[in-house]
Chains A and B, each alone.
Chain A
Amino acid sequence: MEKKLRTPHATRPSARKSAKQKTAFQEFWRRFKKNRLAVAGFVIVVIYILMAIFADLFFSYDFITENQISNAFAPPLTTAEIDLNNGATAQHLYILGADNFGRDILGRIIHGARVSMVIGFTTIAFAGIVGSALGAIAGYYGGKIESVIMRGTDILLAIPNILFALAIVAALGPSFQNLLLAIGITSIPAFVRLMRASVLTLKNQEFIEAARALGARDFRIIVRHIMPNCMAPIIVQATLGIAQSILSATSLSFLGLGIQPPSPEWGNMLSDARSYISYAPHTLLFPGLAIMTVILAYNLIGDGLRDALDPKLKR
């Protein structure tokens, strides 16, 4: 019986499937590509990711955390003598100048990209997985579980993001792990709400009933049938969420509650620069530009994805 039912597809099931998926993706890509700004954002993010991965090829970590006091505040594009560990000296071109300890700003920005990218991706991966799971459970099962999850979400949402992150870091002490935890937790509610809303609209549709009639378990229905259909808003939220995470992390570091110096992080670079605004504005300018471009890029991608994935705009 089962075999008979399958015969219509049996001719070339895999070919059919891949053709269909390809067109769906092609359709998405065609629409995303049309949005020049979104593509530009994508390119910028790729550049930052490459910078983060290959940071050590450009500058060694030791070099950008070591003080070269004699070169403090060297303006951009100056060549100065630096001390190497073995007592020798070498000429070094400070492309974006040096900070208050004579450390290379470009190098610190590149290594800072690593910190920011890691924070952006891990916090949103964590919040996306936990939040989507909770949202799916709340939407699928309803009842008491839903009430508990949604009230919890309401309470989390009632505390402003930055304030909550501040409270967590204040309680647990400023460290990289606590920063990740703080930002990760504050990013959860948005995903819970989105996922629950999508699941609610999907769960009574026929293909879900069909899956249930075939004896699929709840877990399988949620993971294989519901979740893939809820991905569009989640992906958009994740992209914008990464921007938000990076911004929160730099803000906390700026307040001295995030990544601690001498570790390079854009926010703590700006915190140092604050004391020397009138004396060395370049120490202020470049780390801020780095933050702004990366946030802008994620926002552009987010806008582009939203337009490209929005079924209302399908023509």
Chain B
Amino acid sequence: MTRYIFRRLLMIVPVLVGVTFIVFSLTYISPGDPARMILPQDATDADISHMRHLMGLDEPFLLQYVHFLFGFKSPSEDASFSYKGLLALDLGRSYVSNRPVFKTILERFPNTALLAILALILSVILSIPAGIISATHQYSVSDMVVSILSLLGLSMPAFWLGMILIWIFSVKLRIFPSLANPANLKSLVLPVITLATMNTAVQARMTRSSMLEVIRQDYIRTARAKGLDEKKVIRKHALNNALIPVVTVIGLQVGQLLVGAVLTETVFSYPGIGTIMVDAIQRKDTPQILASVVFVAIIFALVNLIVDIVYAFIDPRIKAQYESMSKARSNGAARKGT
């Protein structure tokens, strides 16, 4: 097991290098020149090239990527051009607010995490019972209702749903505010519903199909034949097995929630990482864009890593499979060696 976790941790390294490299390259090829952007309009070409030198933009591409990871010491007196690099969570200052970009991100990230966690809890509470009822009462009215609602939830753009909720609950009924902020729990209701809808739909569908598959297995027939109470059959025998793929899906969705928050936050003007990103993109604030995209991508990768590891603990089959696989692999390697 420790070997599995260790290997999984090692696997994340090339992925993170790849992700940061891609995002960095994208900002590198983007047409705007940062030096020109922070200088006044009437700056001469000499000023610009001097500024490019101070900002390290005249260095070769790969060296700039190294700076991006490990930090850059500007030849300028002004310390604000130097930064300690991604590994130290320092990518310089925003062109717009002149604050360290990661300071803003780390301040706002808990807000996004709060939204995502609440949405995750809501979606799990709703989707799993709905999926189970739908599967155990296949073709009943409740199955149809669940199926139709989950199809609708799957097809509804979250940002549109959010605005419709604002129209109904903020404008018409005046129950919930249309602007959300983490200090006011009541204002979080609408964004959490908005963010949770897609996940609830996906998880309910997954639970239903997984449960339907399990119910048809022989061991369920055996349990029923033994004369077990139907409730017990479902709860003890079917559910445990049916939930394994559901857990995977939920795991994958945790990352999606963090990203889906970009749209939801925009709709509700919620001070999270999504609104930072969108603002930064609209203002062409390159360090802020770079930092927030890389940050979310890294969080996404780490969340998936954690889910994978937790998953191995939940499902004994994964553990067994991995152990037999690593045995086979070491045998193979030994054979190759001889």
Contact = CB atoms under 8 A, between A and B. Distances in A.
A299 interface: yes
A273 interface: yes
Interface string A136-174: 000000000000000110110011111110111111110
Contacts, number: 134
Contacts of A158: 15-16, 18-19, 297, 300-301, 304
A73 to B, nearest CB: 15
B97 to A, nearest CB: 18
Interface in B291-310: 293, 296-297, 300-301, 304
Contacts of A284: 160, 163-164, 167
Contacts of A250: 157
Given A278-B167, A278-B171, A284-B163, A257 B281 contact: yes
A299 B147 CA distance: 13
B152 A292 contact: yes
Contacts of B277: 166
A296 B152 CA distance: 7
B163 A273 contact: yes
B262 interface: yes
Q: How large is the interface on A (under 10, 10 to 19, 20 to 34, 35 or more residues)?
A: 35 or more
Interface in A174-226: none
Nearest to B171: A278
B18 A163 contact: no
Interface stretch (B21-29, B236-244, B326-334): B21-29
A281 interface: yes
Nearest to A294: B155
Nearest to A162: B259
Nearest to A284: B163
A299 B23 contact: no
Contacts of A160: 255-256, 258-259, 296-297, 300
Contact of B14 (A151, A162, A243): A151
A256 B263 contact: no
B293 A167 contact: yes
Nearest to B294: A167
B163 A274 contact: yes
Interface residues of B, number: 46
Contact of A270 (B163, B167, B171, B281): B163
A236 interface: no
Interface in B247-266: 255-256, 258-260, 262-263, 266
Interface string B183-204: 0000000000000000000000
Contact of B282 (A155, A243, A256): A256
B251 to A, nearest CB: 14
A295 interface: yes
B151 A299 contact: yes
Nearest to B267: A274
Contacts of B102: none
A277 B23 CA distance: 36
A288 interface: yes
A251 interface: yes
B214 interface: no
Contacts of A300: 151
Interface of A: 151-152, 154-155, 158-164, 166-173, 243, 247, 250-251, 254-257, 267, 270, 273-274, 277-278, 281, 284-285, 287-288, 291-293, 295-296, 299-300
Q: Which are the 9 A-B pairs with shortest beta-carbon distances?
A: A155-B18, A288-B160, A296-B155, A171-B30, A171-B26, A160-B259, A295-B155, A278-B171, A170-B281
26 contacts: A152-B18, A154-B15, A155-B19, A158-B15, A159-B22, A160-B258, A163-B259, A163-B262, A163-B297, A164-B22, A166-B277, A167-B293, A168-B26, A170-B26, A171-B27, A171-B30, A250-B157, A254-B157, A255-B266, A256-B278, A256-B282, A257-B281, A270-B160, A278-B167, A281-B167, A288-B164
